[in-house]
Every structure is written in structure tokens, then in C-alpha cells.
Amino acid sequence: MIDVEDLVDLVRNYNPNSNADLIRDAYAYGQAMHAGQFRASKEPYFSHPAEVAAILTEQQMDDATIVTALLHDTIEDTKSTYGEVAARFGDEVAQLVDGVTKLTNLELHSSETKQAENFRKLLMAMSKDLRVLLVKLADRLHNMRTIKHLSLEKQQQKARETMDIFAPLAGRMGMQSMREELEDLSFHVLNAEGRNSIIRRFLTLRNQTGDLIPKITNDIREVLEKYGIEAEVFGREKKPYSIWRKMQEKKEGFSRLSDIYGFRIITNDIEDCYRVLGAIHQRWRAVPGRFKDYISQPKSNGYRSIHTTVSGRDGKRVEVQIRTRQMHEVAEAGVAAHWSYKDGQRVENPFAVDPFVWLAGLTERVEQSDDHDEFMEHVKLEMFSDQVFCFTPKGEVVKLPRGATPIDFAFAIHTRIGSSCVGAKVDGIRVPLWTRLRNGQSVDIITAEGQRPQSTWMDIALTGRARSAIRRSLREERRDGAVRLGRELARVAFERAGKRVSDKALATAARQMGIADAGDLLAMLGNAEITGSELIGVLYPELKRVQPDQRVESASAMVGLGAGQTATPAKCCQPVPGERIVGITYRGKGVQVHTIDCASLIEFEDQPDRWIDLHWNDGDHVAEHEVTLEITLANDAGTLGRICTLIGEQNANISDMHFTDRKPDFFKMLVDIQVRDVEHLHNVLTAVEADSDVAEIARYRSSVSMEQ
């Protein structure tokens, strides 16, 4: 455990004006509060808060954050209270400690819905003071460093939570070194063999080629000296998890993987950054498509650097990052650079991003979202994504995640532009909407009045903003269509009952059925969640008792059944009166009735003892025999409602319907109707087929397999 004076010295190294007595007091208070508590490693519990504070000195954090780290578990795990902390250390520290406590109590590993809600709370807690998250990240880093003392199940849970939530958050904040360590520690738990295999391959490579890093570092220094450029050069092997992820993404083996080495060149000013780039490209061949200029187009977390990949010594590909000292400080500390101290003064790093501006960008459009999947999809995308920068025809820059399409670009400009998009031009050339945009491209969105988002756009769009707007539009469109259909079905149901439909009647029915309003009732009716008969039954219960289609047909409708035998129509062929039928017996399950030409009967050709000769009784039958129709009709306004009306006019009840295929011009659907007999079915087919918007209608024969 770090000693209090060592901790004070670490802080004074970057902030000579630090309040050492405050840190000593917090150290003593925390140690006293946690007295008698021990970690799973059997160490005194206070060793953990002390090490968390030490980690935060690496980010050169202010006194309040260091003190918060020392006290971050006191309110939760000891007899200390918020009031006591506030009285002794001030309101600022008390609020930070309370914020960390609330983050600790969030179960981020729970079910997806609960995880989304808790993660939303995490973002809201961060929005008050981002230092809360910095303490929590340091807390998680120390816990991951000492995770071996936990049970295997607990290690797996913590590692997965770290990989899914905390490592991406650290990366999104620009704290790359912390992100890499969190990922690597989690990787060691989740896939120890995979990590060890990467390390073994590095060792093998070193044995074969020697340690290339100092050799390439010297090569770069010689080039810089030749051009008279002053700069520092650092080289390193990429982290095992970074290598593993690239192998999975590119589906390549270690031997075929490029740029497993990374080098950083730290210059005095921006002009030297571009001079270094020219010198590197003159000395080594640049790899096409691997150049990124984050100085002219910085990332939203303030990251600035030039990235290029070249074929270096012995043809080995190496990635080179070029930036100034101030840019490097932001690259290492990320958003935390906002609080950095140097020589006792807050450093005004011109490249550090205001944390509140950064957080507003991260949480944009998600605070009001009530769709948990949408929320997590958007936030995880915001955390994980790299960025491309494209231009509008007027030269304005639009930042998008890598892999974004013109659809995403259009919605990034404005929801109205995205919704009315019908095409796009990239660099003056018309391209499909699924085209993946690249850095520096100019994008011109083509719009048309009356256009609405299409369902196929969900497979094209990548950003949370675009996908959320598309979902919302599709929901509204589906609801509008369902309401129109429901209104038509309600009209038919009321007419069959000899009543007149009205808004007041629908509102009354909605209230009786516990539905919010008449609009929701019609939508449910159109979506076949309720039937017209149920609607009439709620308003006119006396009619429900005498409706002919509500009567149960007697067993005498069928001739040939034995005493006590019950018959059910087969789902595969759906027999109706007027068709030749046969029965198949099932032990303990009665008789299943098929049409004589049903393909399923082939299975029983060698079992004649199970066959029963049946036929329908003479006379009128009740319209309760269900038949499924497959209809292909034009996707035009009013078509679906008109078809439902035609079926209703033939006195056939629609019991269910669902769409099997939707296209911009036609859609295909299955409609379950109830008919009296085969003649009644023929009348329905004829009436619907005569409609000009019906391309095809046929009786649907299911391929449902029979139970033996």
C-alpha cells in the first residue's frame, strides 16, 4: 500500500501548491473508517482507495479528485455519512464521493433492459461532474489488477463488464493507455489462452528477427536528424488484445498481420508534424489507405495526431503516430487533461476538450429515448466508433462513425433531409445509398417531397440518430396503416350488427376494454390483436349471444365418427363442408380430418387401420370453418381496407392476418377467414380476385408436418 507521504510527493511533483494537509487528513480519515476491513487478498481494505488515488496522480488530477479517491468507499462501506464528509472536506468532495457511490451501486452487468436504464443513470451522474467517472475508472483499473483473488465466476462477470462498459468509456474519453490496460486485463480473464498465444508468437518473432523496436526507432531518428527535425521517438509492440481483435476482424493469422509495431514521434510544433510526415514518406513506402490526419480533423474527445503506416525495416509494416507534446498529453489523458496541473497551475492545454461539451455530444438524443435497445445501440456505437469526416456541398464538415452511409450523412444534417432522401452523389457521382463513406468525400443528398424512410434503410443506416429516426417513422407509418385498416374493420363489424360506427362508440369501447383511446383501439383492431366480434360484444353484449358466427357447430355436421370420437380439422389442408374428407385416428387424440387430396395422407398409406371414411352432413353449415388465403396486392393507399371490405361483404369473418413479404410496390399477406362451405369460399375468392389491385389470390396450403 502506498504511504501517505509518497502519495503527497506524487501530487507535489506536478502541483507544488497542492494542499498536502488535506490529502494527509483524507488519508488518515479513510484509513480509520476502513479499519478492520480486508480485501479478498487479505490486505487491509484501505490499500485499495490509496492505490486508486495513486493511479489518478498519473493523470495529474486536482486535490479534490485525489481526496475523493481516498474516500470513495467510505459512505457506502463504513459508518461515515455524507454530512460528515461535507463538514470535514467540503461540499465539492462530498458531492464527488456521493457520485462515485451511486455509480458503484449500478448493476451494469444485469439484464439488457436494466443495464440500459442503469447506464443511462451512469451518463446522467457523469454529466454533473466527469471527475466522478475518472475516479470510477481508476477504481475499476485497480480492481482488475488484483482480480485474481476473486472467484472465477466473479472474475468473468467483472471482466465482461469492464470490456463492455468501462474500457470503451475510457477510450471514448481519449484515455488510451487506461483503455488498453483495462482491455488487456479483461482479455487475460476472458481468454487467457488467446492472450498467451499472442505473447508466445511475439517471443518467437523476437527469436527469429531480434528486437526490431530499437532498430526501427534508430532508423526513424536517423531520418529526422538528416532533415534537421527535433523530435522524440518511442516504439512499442501493440497490446495482445489489440492484436487479437485485428486478427478476428481481418480473419488473418498472426504471421499475416501488419503493423503489430507502433511508433510515436513527439514534435515541438504542428509545422514539424507535417515535416516529419514528409521525411517518413520519403524514406519508406506508405501503405495505401492507411493515412489519417486527426490534426486537421480532430476526434470529438480532442485527440489530434497524424497516423500513417509504412513498410519499414525488412518489409515489416509499422504504424507511426506524429503529434506535438500538447497533443500527446491529450492523447494520454484524454478528457482528463482538462484538470491537469503543472507547476502548481491548471494547464490550459489548447487541445483539451471541455468535458461538459464532450459529454453533451455523447448523450445527445438518448436522454429522452424510451427504447432500451436503441439507447444501448447508440451509446455503444458512440463509444466504440472511429470517425470519418465528410463535407456538404457548402464545405461544412460532418463527423460520422466509420462505415457510415449517405443515409447517416443525411440524418446527421437534419431529420427532414434524412426522411426525404431518395439518392446521393459522392464527389459528384451518383452512388447507391448503401455506399460506405470515406474520409474527405463530398456528399450531396438528393431529396423528394413525399418520400418517407423505408424499412430497408435499417440494414443500411449505422448511426443511432439515423436508426432512431427511421424506427420512429416506420412505427408511425405502421400505426397509421393499422388505424386505417382498423377503422374499415370496425365499420364492417358494426354494419353486420346493424349498428352505425361513430367516434363516440369507439371511445366508449376503448374505455370499457381498458385501452388508452379510440386510436389505440383501431390500431389493435387493424393489427388483429382484437376482433370486430369482440368490439361489438363489448358495446352490445346481447348481440354477441345471437350472432350466427358465434354458435358452435354440433358434432352432427360430420357423418362417420364412432361413439365418443371427436374430430378436428387438419391445419395442413383446412377442410370445409362440400369437400371430400377422410379421418386419421390418433390414440388418445381423437380424429384428424383431411381433404381426400391432402399431401399429408401419403404418410399413412401403409396404415389403413387408422383411416375412417367421413363425409359432411347435408344442410346449412355455420360460418366457423377456418381457411387461410394467400393474397398478393398492390401497396397503394386504401387497397388493404377495400379487400377487407370485400371479404366482409361476403359475410366471411376475418380472424387473423399477417404480412409475409413487403415490397415498395406489392406486398404478400396471409388472411385467415371463416366460411360456411366450399361454395362460400368460392364466392370470397371470386369477389377478391375481381379487384384490380389484387395480383394473385389462392387458398394457402400449409406445410405443417403431422404428428404421428
> Which grid cell is 553?
357447430
The single residue listed with the C-alpha cell 474520409 is: 439
List the catalytic residues: 76-77
Helix 82-89 vs helix 20-33: angle between axes, to the nearest 10 degrees? Answer: 160
Residues 642 and 590 in one domain: no
User: How far is it, in rounded angstroms, from Cα 409 to Cα 417?
Assistant: 9
Of 312 and 429, the one with more pLDDT: 429
User: How far is it, in rounded angstroms, from Cα 403 to Cα 435?
Assistant: 9
Minimal CA–CA distance to 492: which of 501, 482, 484, 480?
Answer: 501
The overall average pLDDT reported for the chain is 81
* 426 within 8 A of 409, measured Cβ to Cβ: no
Per DSSP, helices labelled H in 415-540 are: 415-419, 464-496, 503-512, 518-526, 532-539
Residues 205 and 332 in one domain: yes
Is 387 within a domain? Answer: no
What is the tens place of the pLDDT at every residue in 263-311? 999 999 999 999 999 999 999 888 877 788 888 888 766 788 999 988 8
pLDDT value at residue 277? 93
Contacts of 653 (CB under 8 A, 6+ apart): 531, 532, 533, 549, 623, 673, 674
State whether residue 325 is helix, strand or coil: helix
pLDDT value at residue 349? 60
pLDDT band (50, 70, 90) for residue 144: very high
Is 372 within a domain? Answer: no
- Give mean pLDDT, residues 691-696: 81
pLDDT value at residue 185? 93
> Which grid cell is 487?
377503422
Residues 565 and 581 in one domain: yes
User: How far is it, in rounded angstroms, from Cα 587 to Cα 179?
Assistant: 65
State which amino acid sits at residue 55: I
pLDDT value at residue 408? 92
pLDDT value at residue 368? 47
Is 377 within a domain? Answer: no
pLDDT value at residue 24? 95
**Exposed / middle / buried, residue 271 (Cβ in 10 Å: 0-12, 13-18, 19+):** exposed
> Which grid cell is 221?
531518428
pLDDT value at residue 354? 60
* 49 within 8 A of 70, measured Cβ to Cβ: yes
pLDDT value at residue 363? 56
Specify which of 193-202, 272-281, 461-470 reaches the highest per-range mean pLDDT. 272-281
Is 164 within a domain? Answer: yes
**CA pseudo-torsion sign 601, 607, 608, 610:** negative
Which helix (DSSP H) or strand (DSSP E) does residue 182 occupy?
A: helix 176-190
Domain boundary among 495, 528, 546: 546
Residues 509 and 566 in one domain: no
Residues 12 and 85 in one domain: yes
Rounded to the nearest angstrom, the gap between the alpha carbon of residue 217 and the centroid of all alpha carbons in its chain is 41
Rounded to the nearest angstrom, the gap between the alpha carbon of residue 184 and the centroid of all alpha carbons in its chain is 24
Of 690 and 380, the one with more pLDDT: 690
What is the tens place of the pLDDT at every residue in 591-601? 899 998 888 88
- CATH code of the domain in which 221 resides: 3.30.460.10
Specify which of 585-594, 620-629, 656-665 reaches the highest per-range mean pLDDT. 620-629
Is the predicted pLDDT of residue 315 greater than 70, yes or no? Answer: no
pLDDT band (50, 70, 90) for residue 384: very low
pLDDT value at residue 121? 58
Which helix (DSSP H) or strand (DSSP E) does residue 56 occupy?
A: helix 47-57
Give the least confident one: 54-63, 146-155, 486-495, 625-634. 486-495
What is the tens place of the pLDDT at every residue in 488-544? 888 888 887 777 787 877 887 887 788 888 888 888 888 778 888 888 777 766 554
- Give mean pLDDT, residues 682-704: 80
Is the predicted pLDDT of residue 546 greater than 50, yes or no? Answer: no
Residues 161 and 298 in one domain: no
pLDDT value at residue 644? 87
Is 406 within a domain? Answer: no
Minimal CA–CA distance to 572: which of 551, 554, 593?
Answer: 593
Strands (E), 257-402: 261-267, 285-286, 292-293, 306-311, 317-324, 341-342, 345-346, 387-391, 397-401
- CATH code of the domain in which 651 resides: 3.30.70.260
Is 367 within a domain? Answer: no
What is the tens place of the pLDDT at every residue in 81-108? 999 999 999 999 998 888 888 777 655 5
> Which grid cell is 230?
527535433
Backbone φ and ψ of 621, nearest 5°: -115, 155
Which helix (DSSP H) or strand (DSSP E) does residue 71 occupy?
A: helix 63-71
Residues 38 and 177 in one domain: yes
pLDDT value at residue 705? 46
Domain boundary among 295, 328, 346: 346
Rounded percentage of the chain residues whose pLDDT exceeds 70? 82
CB atoms within 10 A of CB 65: 24
Is the predicted pLDDT of residue 256 greater than 80, yes or no? Answer: no
The count of domains in the chain is 5
User: How far is it, in rounded angstroms, from Cα 165 to Cα 160?
Assistant: 8
C-alpha to C-alpha distances, 500 to 490, 505, 527, 652, nearest whole angstrom: 10, 9, 22, 19
pLDDT value at residue 358? 57
Total residue length of the chain = 708
Of 10 and 441, the one with more pLDDT: 10
Residues 605 and 657 in one domain: no
Q: What angle do CA 28, 33, 37 make, to 5 degrees?
A: 115
User: How far is it, in rounded angstroms, from Cα 535 to Cα 506?
Assistant: 9
pLDDT value at residue 90? 92
What is the tens place of the pLDDT at every residue in 202-215? 787 777 666 778 88
- CATH code of the domain in which 22 resides: 1.10.3210.10
* 659 within 8 A of 478, measured Cβ to Cβ: no
**Cross-strand bridge partners of residue 674:** 626, 653
Domain boundary among 281, 315, 346: 346
What is the tens place of the pLDDT at every residue in 334-359? 666 655 655 555 556 666 666 556 56
Contacts of 316 (CB under 8 A, 6+ apart): 212, 216, 261
Of 268 and 548, the one with more pLDDT: 268
Residues 241 and 183 in one domain: no
Residues 178 and 93 in one domain: yes
pLDDT value at residue 32? 94
* 485 within 8 A of 493, measured Cβ to Cβ: no
pLDDT band (50, 70, 90) for residue 548: very low
Is 522 within a domain? Answer: yes
Helix 82-89 vs helix 91-104: angle between axes, to the nearest 10 degrees? Answer: 140
pLDDT band (50, 70, 90) for residue 671: very high
Is 177 within a domain? Answer: yes
Which helix (DSSP H) or strand (DSSP E) does residue 670 occupy?
A: strand 666-675
Residues 507 and 648 in one domain: no
pLDDT value at residue 171? 78
pLDDT value at residue 392? 86
Write out the residue range of the structural domain in which residue 478 sits: 472-546
Across 139-159, b (16+ Cβ under 10 Å) vs e yields bbbbbbebbeebeeeebbebb
Residues 679 and 568 in one domain: no
Which helix (DSSP H) or strand (DSSP E) does residue 330 occupy?
A: helix 325-333
Cα atoms in the Cβ-side hemisphere of radius 13 Å centred on 498: 6
Is the predicted pLDDT of residue 66 greater than 90, yes or no? Answer: yes
User: How far is it, in rounded angstroms, from Cα 436 to Cα 400?
Assistant: 11
Give the least confident one: 24-28, 405-409, 550-554, 570-574. 550-554
